[in-house]
Structure 1
């Protein structure tokens, strides 16, 4: 599952037209087998697990051979360069559809040829994140929503009941205040310069968004509800009940210096390995709202628009997204097929349950990077605005900090 969300503008594909990708030879039909290149962004143990699955596919095929290419942190650069030079991998992991859609094969006709229940086998929210401008460009393979992590020991030390799935932000703030006064820890942590892509979930939870359906930000990113959302975090920091961190809050949570933070499922394995006594619940809701909403970090597999072997690429995509493969990747990706979640009893595991609860109640929300044409520029300006709001040396009022975003 991809953790970082660097936004690569479509113009980067054009700029990289003259570049070549090291080690790329294109698809061919040597030795009687059609060669399919498959690009992943993963590293280390996750790549080993993926290679085992690729080997399993290859051993079952007489006419297709898939070669796994692990790009790691160079994924965006190499995919952009490959698309610009017509040398993109046949199949690739994908998340940033607004940037890469022009180089991807629409998959709707392939999906329509499947069983009528094919799409229903996936959680519906995931299709929203693997589509762009009415076309499906990726088949879901993994995701994470966000949830509230809390330190059980610090809650016990402060004499507080543990958070529940129906908590409000006011209840979180009240608990954070008690923890900050009765222990050596801060009650809550959030990023001083949060990823704008992630932060929009707090606006959604408060009945607004960065932009409207047409991608207009003015009057939305700075609406009364939006300003209330930004201000809430600044107020918690100013009161001393929360701390704005350089990172995502995981390090502070691990060290026991904060009692709560909101993050994706990426932290689970680390906290388990270190023996942290923690719990996970849904993101708190605003008091006048019926539910909270989470952003998704979703990964899919896509087909290059220029591949000469579309039938073979689709056959591999079908294998990579089937139930058996979905099960095999548990531990590195949260399963996206409902029947796998049911058969493996994933939602019965308390550490996983909130992420699926947030998935279900976050359907129908579209991130602004899918709607705002110049999102890359706007995202950079939002990042600077957040830093002005939450840096203790400035604490600029949200309306003022957002002035450059709405110009």
Structure 2
């Protein structure tokens, strides 16, 4: 008799149930609704507003979830499939499962050293992490925490071209496997939850560690490049750092390395994103890096076609988690049209609205090659640090594996629209 292999779904269940027999429950809820509820209780008002808030009245966030609810998975039985292969490759990066952790800035609102903790959790789960350009730890430090697990770097295109080159060069040097250019945030959307609190983390020095650790940025801010003599710490600088500390836990420590805290903040606000960013500028990136390039924030088929014609290595269908344009099209609704426009070969990833392994299954069946998980991994971070990130990622992968088992899908390449039905009405 041959014993069927134990996939990640049954393995995760076994751990939880065995601990349950000893009276121990998971420190991180395995269902999305309770995960969100408990994380909210852990976060400050400013942290919750930034992480969970969306643009305008939140219609796009609701659309993202409604889009998944319009699809039904159709289980298949007696198929004889006992083993699943969740492995795949996107843009040259091998994945143990079709899941990456999405970049989310200003994580120090939740926990000090957030990026390092997320990296440790991602590495423990064997899931790549896309470092945020608005991270709270320098990319080099976060890269060390990833160990041998692959990671990518998200780029916001600055108004200063040498800064773009510096950030890309640093990402290459510390081992990033791809550059993800976010193109839907050339300016911040209208975010009432943040606005009602008057809370922009970057204005308080949170989420700008990629900049304050960058020699070109320090030059722009009037500080000496890295390696130069540090200017004296003034009373004004100390007061600024203390005010950051009082306003947001972790802010003080996130800015200790910045010799000119207030000037650094002002410089960041001047240069961080480029409202004039266009296809011509984007085309120059191919000659500026040898890394694969993915474009994040595509929702229109014509933009997808143009990106493919420009030679990018992948498209990420995304509405920024509903944080940029209110009442925008759901990412999942945009996916089918984009896949039809560009054909089956180009790499397409999806984010915005992903909460569960069943969501990942639906997205893959509709044409995505992999998915990015955003808010849920930050909720895990809030509840249990690095181990919370690990648990959230492993739970999503476990449910994906079990869903594949119960539909007879032996590999992620076997997922297609035949395993789905459109909901009536």
TM-score category (smaller protein): under 0.3
Structure with more of its chain in helix, by fraction: 2
TM-score in terms of structure 1 length: 0.24
TM-score in terms of structure 2 length: 0.23
* Greater relative contact order structure (CA < 8 Å, 6+ sep): 2
